[in-house]
Amino acid sequence: MTRIAAAFEKARGEGRAAFIAYLTAGDPSEDTTVALARALDRAGADVLELGVPFSDPIADGPVLQRSAERALEAGTTLSGVFEMARKIREETSLALVLFSYLNPLLRKGMAGTGREAAAAGFDGVLVTDLPPEEATDYQPVLRAGGLDTVFLVSPTSPPARMKAAARLSSGFLYVVSRPGTTGARPRLPRDLPETVGRARRAARDLPIAVGFGISTPETARRAARLADGVVVGSALVRASEEFGEGRVEAVERLARSLRESCRLAPISQPSTLDS
């Protein structure tokens, strides 16, 4: 069993959805990223997506765009991301996902990237701009290195693409809650239950995680009732951005409340689904 699979199994045994956090590696520095990862581990996060900063983050909203800019200005490289992962692996129990656009990974070659990622302590890879139709040359290379491969599906994904993404995925299948870019939003889209249902039929026994737009305990609670995992990124990165020197405590506090909201308890009204 991979560390990612074990994280989902542990969460299921505790009667909750897995809490998956995202950080941009190197924002605002390598040491701070490691400190934030330790804070997330203390808060009970199960999985950490560690994002490779990229100069053209087409899927990211303003918060993560600024985060990538700060990380690149600080000199963050893919090799630096691997070094951060080594420290995080030594100091936490988090399952680690390398979260990247394709271009930075191709510079080293996919096989070389996979070997280095696994040696650094990563458990899986998610490439945001790699559709399943174009992944057949890359996915086997990463899986051969012992890494889970996570693919994205969205409300606009037709059945054939959902099935292809699920077939290539291990660890979990990532359901993007709405079309568009990342970013915290006050409500979940009304069609999310239908999207998750279609993804679950395609994934069968593979866990489903929902991300994009989840930012509050209430939206996390509602997402947890639909999926096996809840992904939060922009809200955590924004807390780090806004609280400056107090960012570690702020991120840990927010993460703790989000993780607690992933317990499968009855939800309150009013609804946080878009009308």
Among the listed residues 114, 105, 245, 99, the one whose alpha carbon sits nearest the alpha carbon of residue 174: 99
Catalytic residue among 30, 41, 46, 60: 60
Tell me which of 212 and 57 has the higher pLDDT. Answer: 212
Catalytic residue among 30, 41, 46, 49: 49
Residue 179 is assigned to a structural domain of this protein: yes
pLDDT mean over 36-55 = 97
Q: How many domains does the chain have?
A: 1
Residue 268 is assigned to a structural domain of this protein: no
Residue 268's pLDDT band (cuts 50, 70, 90): very low
Residue 139 is assigned to a structural domain of this protein: yes
- Cβ pair 151, 176 in contact under 8 A: no
pLDDT mean over 208-224 = 93
pTM over 0.85: yes
Among the listed residues 91, 183, 168, the one whose alpha carbon sits nearest the alpha carbon of residue 124: 168
For residues 158 and 153, give the distance between their C-alpha atoms in angstroms, rounded to a whole number: 9
pLDDT tens digits along 57-82: 777 789 999 999 999 999 999 999 99
- Tell me if residue 46 is catalytic: no
Per-residue pLDDT, 273: 60
Residue 254 is assigned to a structural domain of this protein: yes
Residue 269 is assigned to a structural domain of this protein: no
Both tokens of residue 192? Answer: 């999310």
Both tokens of residue 13? Answer: 């045994």
Domain that holds residue 68: 3-261
Per-residue pLDDT, 270: 44
- Tell me if residue 137 is catalytic: no
Residue 273 is assigned to a structural domain of this protein: no
Calculate the average pLDDT of the chain.
92
Question: Where residue 17 sits, what CATH number does that domain have?
Answer: 3.20.20.70
pLDDT tens digits along 116-149: 999 999 999 999 999 999 998 999 999 999 999 9
Both tokens of residue 25? Answer: 């590696």
Residue 88 is assigned to a structural domain of this protein: yes
